A and B are shown apart, each in its own frame.
Chain A
Amino acid sequence: MSSVLIALALIFTQLSLLAFGGGNTILPEMQRQVVEIHHWMTAQQFGAMFALAQAAPGPNMMIVPLVGWHVASWPGVLVTTLAKFGPSSLLAGIAMGLWERFKDRPWRRIVQAGLVPMTVGLVTASAAVITQASAHEWILAAIVAACASAALTTRLHPLLLLAFGALVGLSGIGQI
């Protein structure tokens, strides 16, 4: 059990410090670690956890305690939460002190602009990985496409789109 907790701590500490551009950039690495390397769950289960986290309120990284809970119950929740939110928060605290000194320097803007294409690549990769895990029937692929285009072209609330997907799913159409 404790070796599992140590593995969780190491994985989520690394993810914490690499999450430039927000939480959605690290989903592929998280999935690679918990599904492909450690086999703690299937890709479908990971996709379902991502969906649960999206349906819950709060910051969009609520998949983190969920993974911890699935792998190692409450100790897992504690370890993943501390490891994911601790290191980046410490860094934020330290950076607050240095911020005043650097905020008008031109290199700050250049580095920030340089990270944008990385963020785009990583979020696109997240979308691909999560879609691949979720759209294993034609009807589910249709829900992905419908929700993506509705979110792009309308101002419908995300929760409404999640409810739509859940209802179409519940109807059982196109699913075994």
Chain B
Amino acid sequence: MSTPASLADPEIARTEPTVAQLFSGFLYLGLIGFGGVLPMARTMVVDQRRWMSGKEFTELLGLCQFLPGGNIINISVAIGLKFRGPVGALAALLGLIAAPTVIVIGLGILYDHYQDDPHIRHLFAGLAAAAAGLLVSMAVKIALPLRRKPVAIAIALLCFLAIAILRLPLLATMLVLAPISVLASWKLDKGENTR
């Protein structure tokens, strides 16, 4: 533990949330979080409600990025668990997904009801294309840092080929490619350390 960091992190008015506060806090996040809940989660948890320090939040995020599942989902579980055990984790998770679930199903009902109307069909086709465009931009953004890493590019390409072109099952693809990728990352890491 780095003591300077914890000294620079003053113990000002930290408040431990109750189960109800966990639920309502994440309910609010679920309602306002358009296009990425994570930055808003940090603002709420660290700056507004002061449940934990920025450093603690970043550490939790580091753990969540290591695990399967959406980061924000895992963050809600981790924060709930930290303060109020399993009940807190459940409250935070349910709070986060309750409102978006109801809203998205409402949209789904509207879509099903009106999908034979040509205007609505055209509108949703345009919406779907825009959503696909956003996903393309995200793929480009996360691929750019690999530019000068030929091994990583090769693994990403193999993974793309298996999933998008050959339509192989995800489980099998990961069981084969993940160990290769981790091994390559280990070799490269060792190479850099001995140089």
Contact = CB atoms under 8 A, between A and B. Distances in A.
B6 to A, nearest CB: 15
A167 B126 contact: yes
B99 interface: yes
B132 A135 contact: yes
Which of A59, A95, A124 has the most CB atoms of chain B within a 10 A radius of its CB?
A: A59
Nearest to A22: B70
Nearest to A113: B185
A32 B186 contact: no
A57 B99 contact: yes
Contacts of A146: 133
B189 A92 contact: no
A148 B93 contact: no
Contacts of B59: 103
B35 interface: yes
Interface string B97-129: 101110111011001100100110011111111
A43 B6 CA distance: 51
Interface string A38-71: 0000001001111111111111111101100110
B36 to A, nearest CB: 8
Interface string A113-140: 1111111111111111111011101001
B104 A121 contact: no
A96 B78 contact: yes
Given A110-B186, A165-B131, A169-B125, A152 B140 contact: yes
B20 interface: no
A36 B141 CA distance: 29
B25 interface: no
Contacts, number: 354
Interface residues of B, number: 93
B169 interface: yes
The binding surface of chain A is classed by DSSP as: helix
Given A18-B174, A122-B159, A170 B186 contact: no
B130 A121 contact: no
B169 A29 contact: yes
B123 to A, nearest CB: 4
A147 B132 CA distance: 8
B138 interface: yes
Nearest to A140: B129
Contacts of A172: 118-119, 122
Contacts of B35: 54, 157-159
Interface of B: 30-37, 59, 62-74, 77-78, 81-82, 86, 89, 93, 96-97, 99-101, 103-105, 107-108, 111-112, 115, 118-119, 122-143, 146, 149, 151-153, 155-160, 163-164, 167, 169-171, 174, 177-178, 181-186, 189
24 contacts: A28-B170, A47-B128, A47-B132, A51-B124, A60-B70, A62-B100, A66-B108, A89-B89, A92-B64, A95-B63, A103-B59, A107-B186, A109-B189, A112-B65, A117-B181, A121-B177, A122-B170, A124-B143, A124-B160, A127-B138, A131-B136, A162-B134, A164-B130, A165-B127
7 closest residue pairs by CB, A with B: A169-B126, A165-B130, A121-B159, A58-B100, A147-B133, A88-B69, A114-B182
Given A28-B167, A123-B142, 5 more contacts: A18-B171, A65-B101, A92-B63, A144-B136, A152-B140
